[in-house]
Structure 1
Amino acid sequence: MRMNNMMKEKLPLLISVPHGGTVIPPEIQTACLLNEKDIVLDGDTWTKTLYDFKDLVEEYHEMDIARIAVDLNRHQHDLPPENADGVVKTSTVDGEKVWETPGGLSELEREKLIQTYYLPYHHALEKAADNPQVKLAMDCHTMLDYGPSPTATGWEYRPLFCIGNRGTVTGGQGEETLTASPEVMTRLRELLEKEFESFREDAGIRELVTMNTPFKGGYITRHHGNLGKLPWIQLEINRKLYLPEPSLITVQPSDLDRLKLQEFRDRLYHVFSELVKDISPFRGKEAL
């Protein structure tokens, strides 16, 4: 049964939802070749509803602008033509051309997007991390059910959840600085497995929750986690868990889909509420 938001305690979390936007900025709308549904499917579909914790956490930040126009989870200098999947895209995840101009947006247009949308979002996250009431930050995404294997040639079915701290498959220290402790990662995995055990039959032989594979955490997790203000975790949810059949996906979720998304979010709220009980209130790297 879905819980009333007014009855829930506000959690000491910072939630970031960078890829749920569907808006193409007015100044570049006429150059965009994609229709509304293309834009929705290229981003993290319906995540502004799935992760709608606006009144349930201390800090909540989301982006209205579509990922295809400006990707907040890339370095600001990660640009085409060197990377067609950089901070400003020239092709969709399916390889479709995005802009009517052959080389994509102009340098001036790209810079305006970065200055107007990208940098303010990251500045807002830095400010949010200074909130003394916040214990942990979560950068929230979704992933395709079937995608490129991180360890082998070809594609493979993905787990139902992936959590990333830039570490190893057990959440431990690898070649990079960890953005959250192995203990926090292990606890989050345990809580997700317990809360979503009933979904395991949908996973078949797949793991319910993996760490750092296929995703270790993108630019947001790495950059803000390395600032040392808060532990950061990237959360990826398999779209198989909440999206209808492709032919039934609409620009906005139906009332029935919205109810399903809210019930799913309530399960996440329970996981998060248990997780923060185990996290030290101390700030900085010593909190990890």
Structure 2
Amino acid sequence: MIIVERKLPIVISVPHGGLMVPQPLRKKCLVTNHDILMDSDTWSQHLYHYKDDVEKYIFTNIARIVVDMNRDKQDTPPGNPDGVVKMLTVSGKQVWNSTNGRLTQSETNQLFLKYYDRYHYKLGAAAIDPKVVLGIDCHTMLDVGPATKSAHWEKRPMFCISNGGSRTGHFLGGLQVTAPAELLQKLKILIESTFSHISTDGLPLVEINNPFKGGYITRFHGTRGRIPWIQIEINRKMYLPASNLTSIHPTEVDLLRMRDIKNRLYHVFSSLVDDYPTTRKTAQ
């Protein structure tokens, strides 16, 4: 835990750290606990555990592989096997033992009612709290992934921060940005200063809107509410001991490594909101 004199005036969202499969669905779930962990934002519930350090901390125990809080409710299989409810893991494994490989509409509706709707209600309610000036949706990313608009795979930066805009955070045309470009540029500078000790193998330490431009949570809440929203992705290379984990639980060494990142990020967020104390979102 970080010892602080005040809670930061932000809402922290951690939508992909849960590992729980609801009891009624366990018998038809084909994937292992290890599969569930690797398909989630692995250990993000530890990496971003700011429950006592910010005004609003929103986390779900439900596994991403069951229902994905960062997808639109209309984004469903079979059109998208990696939609709001999944058919396949990121490695291509079938998730559910059913005739069509999918959950029933009744099962899906129950997941929406019990988990998805409640999560987004909490986000909306947190954003109208007068003590809150900024929303941050927190994720982790694989070290290597598919390049944008390419079949090739590429190494990724240590941090990706997103508002749905250009590589400088400015309005790109089409969708509204979810936070001012100046806010992202300041965040980039703060991260670069605070994590300057990190080896990047020649890659940028921080990228804006690359390789990710933000997901459904920041797009939905960041273009409708009174506060700006930023998505942050941390490269798992910074804290995972290996890509092939032998245990779903972090060791004490792993926890210490994540705690150091968490504490450094706390000070980054603190400096960010001190420089931008208002909730103004004029960023285009």
TM bucket, shorter chain: over 0.9
| Secondary structure of residue in 2 paired with 1:68 | coil
Question: 1:16 maps to which residue?
Answer: 13
Question: 1:118 maps to which residue?
Answer: 116
Amino acid at match of 2:177: L
Amino acid at match of 1:272: F
**More deviation in 252-261 or 177-186?**
252-261
Alignment of 1:248-259 (within 5 A): 248-259=245-256
Alignment of 1:46-125 (within 5 A): 46-103=43-100, 104-125=102-123
Alignment of 1:137-286 (within 5 A): 137-175=135-173, 176-199=175-198, 201=199, 203-281=200-278, 283=279, 285-286=281-282
Asked if the contact 2:127–2:225 (Cα under 8 Å) also holds between the matched residues in 1, the reply is: no
Asked if the contact 1:225–1:232 (Cα under 8 Å) also holds between the matched residues in 2, the reply is: yes
Relative to structure 1, the CA distance from residue 93 to residue 248 in structure 2 (aligned partners, 3 Å threshold; closer, same or farther) is closer
Relative to structure 1, the CA distance from residue 249 to residue 224 in structure 2 (aligned partners, 3 Å threshold; closer, same or farther) is farther
| Secondary structure of residue in 1 paired with 2:197 | helix
Which whole-Å deviations, capped at 9, do the CAs of 1:94-134 have from their partners, x for residues lacking one?
01111111421111111111111001100000000011111
Q: CA RMSD in A?
A: 1.4
For residues 205 and 115 of structure 1, the distance between their equivalents in structure 2, rounded to whole angstroms, comes to 46
For residues 211 and 221 of structure 1, the distance between their equivalents in structure 2, rounded to whole angstroms, comes to 14
Q: How many residues align?
A: 282
Q: How many angstroms does 1:35 deviate by?
A: 1.1
Asked if the contact 1:149–1:156 (Cα under 8 Å) also holds between the matched residues in 2, the reply is: yes
| Secondary structure of residue in 2 paired with 1:31 | coil
For residues 174 and 29 of structure 1, the distance between their equivalents in structure 2, rounded to whole angstroms, comes to 43
Asked if the contact 1:17–1:48 (Cα under 8 Å) also holds between the matched residues in 2, the reply is: yes
| Secondary structure of residue in 2 paired with 1:198 | coil
Amino acid at match of 1:14: V
Q: How many angstroms does 1:39 deviate by?
A: 0.5
For residues 202 and 150 of structure 2, the distance between their equivalents in structure 1, rounded to whole angstroms, comes to 18
TM-score computed with the length of structure 2 as normaliser: 0.96
Amino acid at match of 1:195: T
For residues 180 and 47 of structure 1, the distance between their equivalents in structure 2, rounded to whole angstroms, comes to 23
Unaligned ranges ≥5, structure 2: none
Unaligned ranges ≥5, structure 1: none
Question: 1:27 maps to which residue?
Answer: 24
Amino acid at match of 2:81: A
Asked if the contact 1:164–1:235 (Cα under 8 Å) also holds between the matched residues in 2, the reply is: yes
